[in-house]
Amino acid sequence: MSERTILKRLPNRLEPRKLAYSDTSFEGSVSADEVPRLLEATRSISNVKALLRFFVDDRKNCVINGSVSADVVLECQRCLQALEPRQITAAVMVAVVNDEAKAEQLPKDLDPWILEEPEADLYLLIEEELLLSLPVVSYHKDECLDPSLYSTGDIEAETIVKRSNPFDVLASIKGKNEID
Ligand SMILES: [Zn+2]
């Protein structure tokens, strides 16, 4: 089986089933404005990349397997300032199916991509996978606001626990043993 790899800018419209039957791999990038929902969910995005292989598996499913990634700048939900840029990645393991009924029949390790038409929008798939891999919450690691502005004082106890050194506990156990 000959495997073709196509590099650079990823195509938008393509025919996944056809590509699967010719075992085709794509490696390339997508510009930020081509994934508008991801752009809207973040402060900014860059380096949107994907490495995807289209093939037919031994159960005759047209499978797309690979990974997508992007560098994103998220907003701290506490102080509403930008966080350090970070990379998000998602593993892609989808099967192209004609309808909901076929989707139900897929094994658990394959996510359905329901396509009635032969042609599909690859950017939509990439965007969807990246949206799903965004963290549910995003905060600065350190306190970015005066704790009194958002807390009732519980935060103080939390800080003390964090600061206690686990080796202190070890040291005191060790000390006891030595006495015994
Ligand atoms: Zn913050």
Whether 59 and 119 share a structural domain: yes
Q: Residue 61 and residue 151: Cα distance in Å, rounded?
A: 52
Domain that holds residue 88: 4-132
Residue 142 is assigned to a structural domain of this protein: no
**What's the gap in Å between 28 CA and the centre of ligand 1?**
33
- Total-model pTM: 0.75
Whether 108 and 57 share a structural domain: yes
Whether 90 and 156 share a structural domain: no
Phi-psi bin for 80: left (phi > 0), alpha (psi -120 to 50), beta?
A: left
Whether 12 and 100 share a structural domain: yes
Q: How many domains does the chain have?
A: 2
**What's the gap in Å between 148 CA and the centre of ligand 1?**
14
What does 61-117 look like in DSSP terms, one character per residue?
-EEEEEEEEEEEEPBPTTT-PBPPPEEEEEEEEEEEESSHHHHHTS-TT-EEEE-SS
Residue 137 is assigned to a structural domain of this protein: no
**What's the gap in Å between 151 CA and the centre of ligand 1?**
14
Cβ < 5 A residues, ion ligand 1: 76, 78-79, 140, 144
pLDDT of the chain, 180 residues: tens digit per residue = 445 555 588 999 999 999 999 999 999 999 999 999 999 999 999 999 999 999 999 999 999 999 999 999 999 999 999 999 999 999 999 999 999 999 999 999 999 999 999 999 999 999 999 999 999 999 998 888 876 766 554 544 444 444 445 555 555 555 544 444
